[in-house]
Amino acid sequence: MTSLQIVFLVVAAVTLFSAGMVVSARKLMHAALFLVLTLMGVAFMFAMLGSGFFAVIQVLVYIGSIAILIIFAVMLTRNMMDSEAEASNRGWQILAPLSLLIFAGIITILSSWHAFTSVRDLSGTAGEDVVALGKALTDPNGFAIPFELASILLVAALAGAIYVAMERKGGRG
Amino acid sequence: MIPLSWYLIFAAGLFVTGIFGVLTRRNVIGVLMGVELMLNAVNINLLAFWSYLYPESISGLVFIAIVFVAAAAETAVGLALIISIYRRRHTVYAEEINLLRG
């Protein structure tokens, strides 16, 4: 066991525990805060995989905006939250073993893959080439069209979100 | 050195937790949180494959960036829908949102 492996196991345990709390916490506000911890653990995993850029993007996009959006939504709908009410529906006794079954299935399929146990020393790698990524995203022979499509998707989502959430005057819109 | 399998098992655990949350949460915001967990697990997988198998290739990174964009768009629209439903029907529980019931 190297120290890197111990660090990985600790982070993985914390992340999976907080993920479990996200799906099972009775109060939704607690679930949202545990979601922040989970996203932080995922950002740590990105950094361990040698991608510092995406670790930063994870913190900025997920923790900085998506988690904040979710916390806003939780607070805006707060007076509905009845802390006595059941947080999960009745099916969870069936669905918990089913989820474990899906997990076992995924692992079984993955373990039959030849590259499953491949090991690579990531400590010496320089990480991703952000300049090359930026050039590829704007290169017409590269990924310019997916990049433009993604920006159109973002604009459409922005306009759609404003339109859907806007309060219309005069009856039902 | 950490084998690739550790990352894959961790991501599978995160993904399954997300599925469980999506299927069992009564609150629609909780369902969205489950979706976020699943998207994160997918991103870990993509980045692990890129890092272990194709570190020279740039397309894996582009894929991750697109997943980030899709996740941001999904959350914004999803939360707008939840706020809108809450305004009109005063509920955030999935079983009470049954306007489209056949």
| SS3 state of residue B93 | strand
Q: Does B43 touch chain A (CB under 8 A)?
A: yes
d(CA B29, CA A74): 7
As given in the structure block, the two tokens for residue B11 are 């991501």
| SS3 state of residue B102 | coil
pLDDT mean over A126-155:
89
Domain end point (choices A81, A113, A148): A81
**Percentage of residues of chain A with pLDDT beyond 90:** 48
pLDDT digits (tens, 9 = 90+) for A32-73: 999 999 999 999 999 998 888 999 999 999 999 999 999 998
Q: For each of chain B's 102 residues, which pLDDT tens digit applies?
A: 788 899 999 999 999 999 999 999 888 999 999 999 999 999 999 999 998 888 888 888 999 999 999 999 999 999 999 988 888 888 888 888 887 776
Q: Is residue A27 in a domain?
A: yes
Q: Is residue A92 in a domain?
A: no
Degrees to nearest 5, angle at CA A145 with B77 and B81: 5
Nearest chain B residue to A94 by CA distance is B24
pLDDT at A15: 95
- Which residues of chain B does A4 touch, with a Cβ-Cβ cutoff of 8 Å? 1-2
pLDDT at A173: 45
Specify the CATH number for the domain of residue A30.
1.20.120.1200
More confidently predicted of A89 and A16: A16
Question: Domain span at residue A160?
Answer: 130-173
Q: Is residue A72 in a domain?
A: yes
Q: Is residue A122 in a domain?
A: no
pLDDT mean over A91-100:
88
Q: Nearest Cα to A14, choosing from A54, A43, A52, A50?
A: A43
Q: Whole-number mean pLDDT of chain A? A: 87
| DSSP letters spanning chain A | --HHHHHHHHHHHHHHHHHHHHHH-SSHHHHHHHHHHHHHHHHHHHHHTT-HHHHHHIIIIIIIIIHHHHHHHHHHTGGG--TTS-SB-TTHHHHHHHHHHHHHHHHHHHHTSTTTT-B---TT-----HHHHHHHHH-TTTTHHHHHHHHHHHHHHHHHHHHHHSPPSSS--
pLDDT digits (tens, 9 = 90+) for B65-84: 999 999 999 999 999 999 88
Identify whether residues A3 and A73 lie together within a single domain. Answer: yes
Instruction: Say how many domains are in chain A.
Output: 2
Query: Torsion angle of alpha carbons A62, B61, A48, A129, nearest 10°?
Result: -120
d(CA B64, CA A123): 22
Instruction: Write the CA distances from B53 to A68, A81, A108, A114, B91, integer angstroms.
Output: 34, 46, 20, 12, 47
Whole-model pTM? 0.89
Q: Do B92 and A77 touch (CB under 8 A)?
A: yes
Q: Do B24 and A5 touch (CB under 8 A)?
A: no
Q: What is the ipTM of this complex?
A: 0.91
Q: Does B35 touch chain A (CB under 8 A)?
A: no
In the predicted structure, residue A17 carries a pLDDT above the cut 50: yes
Report yes or no: B34 and B18 within 8 Å, Cβ to Cβ: yes
- For the segment(s) B27-96, the CATH number from 3.30.1180.20, 3.20.20.450, 1.10.287.3510, 1.20.210.10 is 1.10.287.3510
Report yes or no: B47 and A57 within 8 Å, Cβ to Cβ: no
pLDDT at B59: 87
Which residues lie across from B3 on neighbouring strands? A119
What's the pLDDT band for A124 if we cut at 50, 70, 90?
Answer: low
Instruction: Write the CA distances from A100 to A56, B12, B19, B21, integer angstroms.
Output: 32, 10, 10, 13
Q: Is residue A32 in a domain?
A: yes
Q: Do B5 and A110 touch (CB under 8 A)?
A: yes
